[in-house]
Structure formats: structure tokens, C-alpha cells
Amino acid sequence: MSMIKNVTVVGAGVMGHGIAEVFALNGLNVNLEDFYPEVIEKAKKGIDDSLNKLIESKKIDENKKNEILKNINYYSNIRDAVKNADLTVEVVPEIYDIKVKVLKEISENTDNIIASNTSNIRITEMASEIVKPERLIGMHFFNPPVLMKLVEVIKGDKTLDKYVDEIYDLAIKLGKKPVKILRDEAGFVVNRISAPETLLLCSAYQRNVAKPEEIDKYFKSQGLPMGPYQLFDYVGLDTVVDSLKYYAGELSQDYGKCNALDSFIKSKNLGMKTGSGIYKWENGKAIIPESGESDKISLMDAFALEINEATKLLEDNVASPDDIETGVKYGLNRPFGPITVANGLSNDDILETLNKLYNEYKIDVFLPSKTIKEHKLKELLNKKPVEKREEKSDLTKYGVKNKVGILTLNNGKNNLMSIELLTEIEKQLNVIENDNDVHVIIIKGNEKAFSAGADLSQFISNPYNFMRISKRGEDIFDRITKINKIFIAELNGYVLGGGFELALACDIRVSNKNVVIGFPETGLGLIPGYGGSQRLPNLIGISRAMDLILTADRINGEKAYEYGIVTRLFDNPDEEALEFAETLSEKISPASAYVAKRLIYNTSKINFDEESLSMGMLYAGNDLKEGVKAFLEKRKPDYKGN
């Protein structure tokens, strides 16, 4: 556990005062230093505005804001600012000479840990120019630091292990997701993996392959929160250019081949921070012209470059697959990282894309890594577990009380229906089916959600795999209808999408009045894919099912009771559902329940082959001819049953 209590942040720009706020939010005493008085004044306003937004979102209150502000002191010289600091964090422009000058002055005035917030520059290189280089470490926050979860903890060649552990623990204390960079490489993990993509985008801009807004619109349509050129503006075009220049000296001269963004630097149009860059910016938002989409740079191009660079990091033992995945996921605010994507694609797909990019742009950085060229991608990725998923090691909990089994979904606050959760449900059904002492099963979630639906953040490489996952969900849920036990869905909070489909597969549904039930899929370009489009109309009729599915509307427990989706409304579902289940377990024969379920579910099934066959048989019979003749003659038919 970190013992750091007093922190100094040197550099009060946008990133610096954001980092200072993070420390103060978590109860640490902070000294924020900057040589320029006007920067300090902007920092004070920036912190105040940020805290007000946290109040608006009800994350803190006014008393907490005042407490945080008291934790921050402002200085105009490094010597006084670092005097009592357990840790000093340097946050000055990403220019080597400036950083080294500041770090050297810090090292001459404190004996404690020094961290650099550098996003690219090697820690080892800078440490060689300061007093006691073994205490310099990288602590790279991501912008905006108050919101972004990732912190890269970078070990220089001389950094002592105890300092790596200390900063790692501190990052956890700050509520961040730290990753360890075990080998000091330019760009570390996140920026290194995105560097070839940055070069591709710069080169495409230089060649006028498509308008920036067209490429950005394409990437946003693929689910990314920002298009790549919008992101350039957001982080600062000067930062992008400085990074490319640094990589040109440290990684490959190819990074120096693109000078398309230099004109923005000369005119001081650096993006969001100056109000203009590739786009104009107002109130922190980019004004992006209306346009069509262009896939001249595709998502597959970006994926292939990121996977290629990730394999190079793995080959050089810079970081583990887990930390690479976590780093990109949280550092770039994405639903998944390159390791997940790589596991969903074939080596040939990636190799073909990289060769295409190289042939088009003639940039050596795009050439496939040794691993990919030798078709050993999966072998490299599987040397270590891709994801530890420690927080998901117990996705379901199962217990027995008397003759009632209780299966609790435990996949985070929203209980999203991930592939892993479906697998865990299937395993539990195996246990349940073979337990002859249990007659009734309750399936439940938590106070916030029974299940808020499918986990759409998972990477699925192609439509066929998407179909297979849908079929797997259908099969797992259908097992519930065939097991010789009564299944009760105890609904609470959100019951959406895949969660609603799990509830529909159960024999009985109970809830409180405030439950939120619905199928949002059609509003997302999907349909209920785990049997919901079949079970819901069988349960409540086609008209109401059409209304719920095609409008993507949500209903509460009372409306669900009126529709017949739930059959019992409880004030306290937790207690009353268990009492109800215990009563059923004592009075209902499991054999009778099994047979009743078979008969009831079979009557509600629609078999279109049987329907069409029956129509053909009727067409050949005499009763149809008599019926038509009687209709035309306006008399009652005289059917003979043939």
C-alpha cells in the first residue's frame, strides 16, 4: 500500500492541473507549481470548473469541493514546491530538453521519488542527466486525467523495483488502472501501439486520400467515441508532431516522412487548446462539417497496425499481453484492445492487410513483424493468459436453501450477458440438472440489474461468429425449458435485451413495480437474438410483442404484470421469491413439473414446416371444396371430415 501523502506537480497546464486535481480528489496534499503566473490562474479556474462538473454529476458535493481546494497549494518556483514532497511529478511540454532541465532542478532539491508524465520519451535517457537516477520513474496519465482510468508505470533501466511497486500502488489508490512497462521503450505501450496508425493517418492527410471529416465519420460509425483526426486536435497537433519527430529519431526514420501537420504548428493552430486545428473548436467541442463516410482507411487497417506493433512489444518483453490489452482499452477509451482483436482474426487476415498498406504507402513501419510473417501470432499470444479477468473470476454464484437452488448473476453492476457469463450459466445448468435434491431454481441479479443486456463491447470478428454466439445463447436458454425443475426469474432493476431473454426462458417471472423491462436491440440495428423474438409473442401475443420489440420501449413491473410477462408482483422480491419457491418445492412434483413444462412449451412452439405441410393436405381434401362451394352458394357447409 502506497505511503505517499504529499505530492508536488511541476507544470500547471491542462494536463498538470488535471493530475493535481486527481491527487487532491483522493485526499493527498498537493503543491502545484508553474513559473508563469497566468498559467497558475488558468489552472485555478480549470480545477474549479472541473469540480463544479463533478458536483453537477453528483460525484461530489460542495463540502467535498472545498476540502479538495484546501488540499492544493500554488507555487512559482520548484525549490519551495518540492521541499516536503514524497513524490514530485513533472508535467511539462513533451520536449526532451525542457523535460531534462526541469527534472534536473527537481532532483537537486528533493531526495524522494520523481516521476515524469512523459508520453513517449525514455525514462532511462532522462534519468542519466539527473541526481540519483534510480528514483526516476514514469507515471503517465491520460487526458483528461480526472476521467481517464489508465496510468502507465514505466521502469527505467536504473529505476529501483520498490519505486515501481510504490507508484503502481499509488495509482490503484487513485482509482486508476495501472499497467507496468517492464522495458523502457519509446512510446511505452499505448502510444507505441498507436504510433503506426498516427503515421498512416498523417500520410493519408498528406496525400489527400479523403477529407478528415469523411474518415472520422467512418470511424465513429464503427463505434469509436472520436474519429482519429478529431482525436489529433483533442490531444494537440503539436503533441502529435513532437511524437512523430521523437519516433523518427528513436524507432524509425519513417516517422519523419510526414510533414503534413507542420503548417498547423507554424500558424499556432494546435487544435482544441487554441480553438482551431484540423477543425474549429468551440466550448471544448469540434465543429465537424457534414460529410459522407470514407473507408479509404478502414478499421481493419487500424487493427492490423496495432496488432503488428503489439507483437513487436511482446517479442521484446516490453509488457505482458494482459497489460497491453488493458493499456489500449483504458488509455484509448475503447471496449477492447489489440489482444482481443488478434484472437478474433486469422494470421493471414492481418498479414494480407499489412502487406497491402506497405505496398500502398512504401513505409517500412507497416511491414509485418517476425511473428506475423512466420504465422506464429496465436502461439505468441497464448504463451501467457490473454486476460486474467480477476474481477470476472466468479461471474455466477450458486447456492442451495432447502430444496431451492439460487443462481445469482455476478458480472458487474449491470450483469451484462458476455460470452463468459453465458459459459458460466451453462456450467451451472449442468450442476443444477444433476442435482436431484433441488426442485425449484431462482435466477436473480443484483439491486441495479437482473441483466442490462448483451455485452456489446466484445470484439466479434465476422457475421458467422456473431451468428454462432446468438445460437449458443439460444441453446443455453432453451435448456432451462427442458430441465425437470421449475425456474423462477426474480427480476429487479434493469431487465433488458439478453437479460429479458433469459427471464423469458424461465417458467415463472416475478418482480417489483419499479423493474425496467425492454428490448433495446432494434434501436441498435439488432434484434433479440437469444430466442426473445419467438418467446415473447408466444407469451403475450403478436400485437404486444411487436409493439415492445419494434419500438424498443421500456415498461415497468405493473405494465409487465398487465401484459402477463410477470405473474406476481412483490414488494420485496428477495424474500417473497424465496418463500414462493420454497412453497413450490414442497407441493409440486418434479415429475409433474417436467411433463407439464414439456406439454405447455410444445403447444406454444411454431413449426412452419408442419404448417405448410398441413395446408397442402387440406388442399387435397373434400372439406375444402365443400367449404368454398357453400360460401359461394351462401349456405352452411356439410363437412364429411375428408
Q: Which amino acid is at 607?
A: N
- Integer Cα distance of 97 and 639 in angstroms: 100
374 belongs to the catalytic site: no
- Integer Cα distance of 98 and 92 in angstroms: 7
Local structure of residue 225 (DSSP, 8 states): S
- Residue burial 307-325, b: 16+ Cβ < 10 Å; e: rest: bbbbbbbbeeebbbbbbbb
Question: Among 129, 186, 118, which residue's Cα sits nearest to residue 158?
Answer: 129
The residues near 203 (Cβ < 8 Å, ≥ 6 apart) are 257, 258, 260, 361, 363
- Integer Cα distance of 434 and 141 in angstroms: 51
Spell out the SS3 assignment of 4-36. Answer: CCEEEEECCCHHHHHHHHHHHHCCCEEEEECCC
What are the cell numbers at 310? 503489439
Q: How are beta strands 516-518 and 494-496 bridged, if at all?
A: parallel
Q: Look-up: residue for cell 462538473?
A: 53
In degrees, rounded to 5, the angle at the alpha carbon of residue 79 between the alpha carbons of residues 119 and 144 is: 30
DSSP 568-588: EE-SSHHHHHHHHHHHHHHHS
Choosing from 501, 579, 610, 626, the catalytic residue is: 501
In terms of Cβ atoms closer than 10 Å to its own Cβ (0-12, 13-18, 19+), residue 270 is: buried
Q: Which amino acid is at 52?
A: N
501 belongs to the catalytic site: yes
The partner residues of 407 in beta bridges, in order of sequence, read 398, 443
Between helix 14-25 and helix 37-56 the angle, nearest 10°, is 50
Choosing from 521, 576, 610, 633, the catalytic residue is: 521
Question: Is residue 544 within 8 Å of 556, Cβ to Cβ?
Answer: no
Using CA atoms, how far residue 199 sits from 43, 94, 110, 498, in Å, is 32, 18, 39, 40
Q: Which long-range contacts (CB under 8 A, 24 or more apart) does 110-113 make?
A: 110/8, 110/82, 110/83, 110/85, 112/85, 112/86, 112/87, 112/88, 113/4, 113/86, 113/87, 113/88, 113/137, 113/163, 113/166, 113/167
Question: Is residue 515 within 8 Å of 556, Cβ to Cβ?
Answer: yes
What are the cell numbers at 480? 432451462
DSSP strands (E only) in 142-298: 150-154, 177-181, 280-282, 285-287
- Integer Cα distance of 156 and 184 in angstroms: 6
Q: How far is CA 48 from its chain centroid? A: 29
Task: Give catalytic residues, as residue numbers.
Answer: 501, 521
